[in-house]
């Protein structure tokens, strides 16, 4: 689809705010240099964001004799964003301020078989209502809710097109949620959410060609190519977990055999363990999380069965990641989500070794493979940025899933921090502002 001037302005507004959130406090000139936009465009967009209460003026930077440059910073209390991580076994929700600092969290467990659309919607709504209540913020401060839904989604229509692990087809998820939640709603999937989180706050910052490997119950690869999030023509790019790793291999939920996901997703890891040691006490047949946690603890203790299971999993994962290296030639590959976090360095070391055996030397030498450094849930963090972008794009128009929400006053109370960031602060001192999200216990 051809982008309109409004689309371009929304994208520029988003890029400017993203840069300011990451670098606060910062001058307009620095934002222009970082984004490639003209100073006049940046000044105009900063003015809009100040009017919306998303930014605040915080003084001036040091001058070498010229005119001092004014500094702006994100106005953290100027609004709230909610990120929803819907997974196959749980729903995790976080509420953030505009600096993307966590203010409240809530979790809902999805028991086996508890995956009908009405059940999932109820859990999402309950968790969202819980974080708003725990934060103590009035509901009209919430600028939007970003929902990350596994599988293929139609983000414009708010539809879960296909969720293979639940056998969902064309579920109008946001329409169902609109009957329960009075906030603007925005939908995408965890591959995009993890990738955005890494680009903003994680290992992918400063890189243009990035792959974020999402290891959970399901498996996928979020892509940022040439500095931009790569979605594909139907927002389906990154379904690497459903590429064939073993011909005529294990049956996958998608209906094919031998998919990557069936060997390196949490159920696949359980099967690896079962095949190596059918009676292992590490295996919790009905609990993926407990099995992976037991494996991680046993590897740390040097248990031979656990070590062999992780090594076998890494052999499969390394071969599949080598395909990504050869195909995409990325600067960095980030292992993300809860399975990668649980198995940590032992898995990473084995994967690096396995990739080295399968990938071509030239692209492999240029690719760094790391664990995600984001301390909080990267999916809910990335989902909150969906809501942020939606809020910026909805300036002057109504969100299609927001018919039940009353008009919210645009003016936000600005938080001017006195002389805390005024003249006399050095560039290095300003750069001590946190580069990653800071989690505040709820």
pLDDT on residue 393: 87
Give 54's pLDDT tier (boundaries 50, 70, 90).
Answer: very high
- The whole-number pLDDT of residue 365 equals 97
| pLDDT of amino acid 249 | 98
Q: What is the CA radius of gyration of the chain?
A: 22
Q: Is 257 helix (H, G, I), strand (E, B) or coil?
A: strand
Beta strands in 345-410 (DSSP E): 368-371
Q: What is the mean pLDDT of the chain?
A: 89
Residue 417 or residue 383, greater confidence = 383
pLDDT tens column, 332-350:
999 999 999 999 999 999 9
Per-residue pLDDT reduced to its tens digit, 65-123: 667 889 999 999 999 999 999 998 899 999 999 999 999 999 999 988 899 999 999 99
Q: Which residues of 155-189 are buried (b: 16+ CB within 10 A; e: fewer)?
A: beebbbbbbbbbebeebebbebbbeebebbbbbbb
d(CA 209, CA 198): 12
DSSP 8-state assignment for residue 145: E
What pLDDT is stored for residue 237 in this prediction?
A: 95
Mean pLDDT calculated for residue range 196-221: 94
With a cut of 80, say whether residue 27 has pLDDT above it: yes
CA distance 81 to 386: 9
User: For 30, which DSSP code?
Assistant: H
Q: Give the confidence band of 38 by pLDDT, cuts at 50, 70, 90.
A: very high
pLDDT in tens, 286-336: 899 999 999 999 999 999 999 999 999 999 999 999 999 999 999 999 999
Q: What is the dihedral of CA 252, 254, 260, 261, to 10 degrees?
A: -80
pLDDT at 20 > cutoff 70: yes
Residue 152 Cα distances to 167, 169, 185, 292, 390, angstroms: 12, 9, 17, 26, 20
| Higher local confidence (pLDDT), 194 or 64 | 194
Return the half-sphere exposure (C-beta side, CA atoms, 13 A cut-off) of residue 269. Answer: 36
With a pLDDT cut of 70, the percent of the chain lying above it is: 88
Three-state secondary structure call for residue 398? coil
To the nearest 5 percent, what fractions of the chain are helix, strand and coil?
Answer: 40, 20, 40
Sheet holding 26-27: strands in order across? 26-27, 70-74, 55-60
pLDDT at 1: 54
Residue 194 has pLDDT above 70, yes or no: yes
Residues 385-419: tens digit of each pLDDT = 999 999 998 875 555 454 433 333 333 333 434 43
pLDDT reading at 58 higher than 70: yes
More confident residue, 63 or 32: 32
Question: On the CB side of 400, how many CA atoms lie within 13 Å of its CA?
Answer: 11
Give the closest residue to 199 by CA, choosing from 191, 186, 210, 189.
210
The answer on pLDDT for 226 being more than 50 is yes
What's the pTM value of the predicted model, to 2 decimals? 0.84
Read out DSSP for 169-191?
A: EEE-HHHHHHTT--S-EEEE-HH
């Amino acid at each position: 689809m051809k982008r309109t001037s409004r689309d371009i302005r929304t994208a520029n507004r988003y890029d400017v705010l993203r840069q300011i959130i990451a670098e606060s406090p910062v001058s307009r000139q620095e934002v222009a240099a970082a984004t490639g936009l003209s100073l006049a465009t940046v000044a105009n967009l900063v003015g809009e964001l100040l009017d919306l209460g998303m930014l605040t003026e915080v003084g001036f930077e040091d001058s070498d004799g010229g005119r001092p440059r004014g500094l702006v910073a994100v106005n953290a209390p100027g609004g709230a964003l909610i990120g929803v991580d819907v997974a196959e076994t749980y729903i995790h929700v976080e509420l953030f301020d505009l600096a993307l600092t966590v203010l409240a969290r809530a979790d809902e467990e999805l028991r086996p078989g508890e995956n009908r659309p009405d059940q999932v919607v109820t859990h999402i709504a309950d968790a969202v209502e819980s974080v708003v209540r725990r934060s103590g913020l009035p509901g009209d401060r919430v600028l939007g809710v970003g929902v990350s839904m596994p599988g293929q989604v139609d983000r414009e229509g708010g539809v879960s097109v296909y969720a293979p692990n639940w056998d969902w087809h064309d579920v109008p998820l946001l329409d169902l949620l609109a009957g329960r939640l009075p906030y603007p709603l925005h939908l995408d999937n965890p591959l995009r959410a993890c990738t955005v989180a890494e680009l903003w706050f994680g290992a992918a910052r400063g890189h243009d060609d990035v792959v974020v490997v999402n290891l959970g119950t399901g498996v996928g690869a979020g892509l940022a190519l040439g500095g931009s999030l790569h979605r594909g023509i139907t927002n389906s790019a990154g379904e690497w977990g459903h590429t064939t790793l073993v011909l005529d291999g294990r049956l996958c939920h998608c209906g094919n055999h031998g998919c990557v996901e069936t060997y390196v997703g949490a159920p696949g890891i359980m099967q690896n363990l079962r095949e190596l040691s059918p009676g292992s006490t590490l295996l919790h047949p009905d609990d993926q999380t407990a099995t992976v946690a037991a494996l991680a603890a046993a590897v740390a203790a040097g248990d031979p069965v656990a070590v062999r299971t992780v090594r076998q999993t890494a052999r499969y994962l390394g071969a599949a990641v080598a395909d990504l290296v050869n195909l995409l030639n990325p600067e960095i590959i980030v292992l993300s989500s809860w399975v990668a976090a649980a198995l940590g360095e032992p898995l990473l070391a084995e994967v690096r070794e396995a990739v080295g055996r399968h990938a071509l030397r030239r692209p492999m030498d240029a690719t760094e493979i790391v664990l995600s450094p984001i301390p909080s849930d990267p999916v809910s963090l990335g989902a909150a940025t969906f809501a942020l972008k939606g809020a910026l794009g909805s300036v002057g128009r109504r969100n299609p899933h927001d018919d039940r929400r009353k008009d919210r006053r645009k003016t936000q109370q600005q938080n001017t921090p006195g002389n805390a960031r005024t003249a006399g602060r050095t560039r290095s001192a300003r750069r001590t502002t946190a580069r990653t999200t800071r989690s505040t216990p709820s």
